[in-house]
Chains A and B, each alone.
Chain A
Amino acid sequence: MDPKKIYQKTDKGEEELRTRKFGLPQNLRQILIFVDGRSNITKVLEKAAGFPNVGQSLEQLAAQGFIRLDETVSFAGIKDELIATAQQTLGADAEKVLAKIKDAPETKEGLQATMNSCKKLVKLVIDEKKAEELIQKCSEIMSRL
């Protein structure tokens, strides 16, 4: 289970919450309520910290068709990951790169162009090795787009 993935309710899940038509057990129903289509699995696990076997419950809900993984990739999520990676790789020198990523257009091409520009910036004024490291890590993240 990829903790960065996001589950969303299916029509069946929405109907169950409204009508209790499928007789979902109470603990699974509670977990279904936590699935909001915005929180990734890590966040759902945090929200449902008081419940046992949340991961297993999510899998059960998915298997029974009440929820499904959101296959569309969120640009905001990708940007957050790129920002975290840049921060981790460049440390105190990351400021300008972070600003560039934050201002990047939310298209695959736009984000790609921004990352190429960041690579050049890092290579010129921060560190050549870190530039390669950064672009390699970011390419992995962006391959999900």
Chain B
Amino acid sequence: MKVDITFFISIAAIAIMLYCLYLVMTLKQKVPGGIVGKKWNFLMALVAMFTVGYLSTPFFGIIPEDVLRLIVSGIFFFGAIYVVITVKLIYQIIKELSA
């Protein structure tokens, strides 16, 4: 494993993602259901998936290229889904609050 600037950025990204996982799990208790609650379970699953993906980044140097491309494209794909869900959720919250 090569220790360079990329390595440190990966470690920082993993730490932030773990904090994000902690946040979504903690907030879940305060959002048992409703419009937000329904989406929250899915967001939590996505964050868990990202955490696993991010944990693999320090090993990118030793992972076969095919697997590496699959991991990166997977993170991009589910990242896009995450953004769509988040934006739609914010849209619904604003719509509800301004009704």
Give me the interface of A with B, judged by CB distance under 8 Å: 93, 120, 122-128, 131
Contact = CB atoms under 8 A, between A and B. Distances in A.
A98 B37 CA distance: 20
Nearest to A131: B34
B36 interface: yes
19 contacts: A120-B96, A120-B97, A123-B34, A123-B35, A123-B96, A124-B34, A124-B93, A124-B96, A125-B31, A125-B33, A125-B35, A125-B37, A126-B32, A126-B34, A126-B37, A127-B32, A127-B33, A127-B34, A128-B35
Interface residues of B, number: 12
A125 B32 contact: yes
Interface of B: 30-37, 93, 96-97, 99
- Interface SS of A by simple majority: helix
Contacts of A128: 34-35
A126 B37 CA distance: 7
B96 A125 contact: no
